[in-house]
Structure 1
Amino acid sequence: MTSEKNVQIGQAREAFQMLNQISQLLNTGLDQETLTICIRLCELGVDPESLAYVIKEIRKVGERETHNKVVNTQL
């Protein structure tokens, strides 16, 4: 690898670390793998607001299913 490529890789890692820290500070609940997927989707042109909406909706569905399982096991 050229030194320029090494610099780019280093900058990408640093940028990801900063995004991960911001994600943690904002308490998004995204792990590193999920954050990586979200970043890649945005790089491919997915609207960030739409992506955030979809993630929130998926979480709501998951919470409802978890709640329903708890209620059904208590019956």
Structure 2
Amino acid sequence: MVKACCVMDPEAARTARESLDLAFHMSNILDTGLDRHTLSVLVALCDLGLNPEALAAVVKELQREPPPSTPFSSSSSQVP
């Protein structure tokens, strides 16, 4: 059985896809570094009422953090 909350009108789905395409195009022009999936999650969070400026601040902070290092990737951790 398909839940009604998960079924989208084909026209609404097309409009949503076009809107995401436009947002992704603007994101690329602004060189945000966001992929399409991340952008769609951020748009969905805004649709749920989260503050877009707060989300932008979180994204900027996460982009500034260095990626976690893996303990086994360095050759200095090998025993001679």
How many aligned residue pairs are there?
A: 64
Q: Does 1:10 align with 2:5?
A: no
Larger radius of gyration, structure 1 or 2? 2
TM-score, normalisation: structure 2: 0.69
Give the number of the structure whose residues are more often helix, by fraction: 1
**Which residue identity lines up with residue 18 of structure 1 in the other structure?**
L
Q: Which contiguous aligned blocks of 4+ residues in structure 1 show a shift greater than 4 angstroms?
A: none
Runs (5+) with no aligned partner, structure 2: 1-8, 76-80
Distance 1:11 1:37 in 2: 17
SS at match of 1:13: helix
Partner of 2:25: 21
SS at match of 1:40: helix
Partner of 2:40: 36
Name the Cα RMSD after superposition: 2.0
Distance 1:62 1:35 in 2: 21
- TM-superposed CA distance for 1:62, in Å, is 2.4
Percent of aligned positions that are identical: 35
Runs (5+) with no aligned partner, structure 1: 67-71
- TM-superposed CA distance for 1:28, in Å, is 0.5
SS at match of 2:60: helix
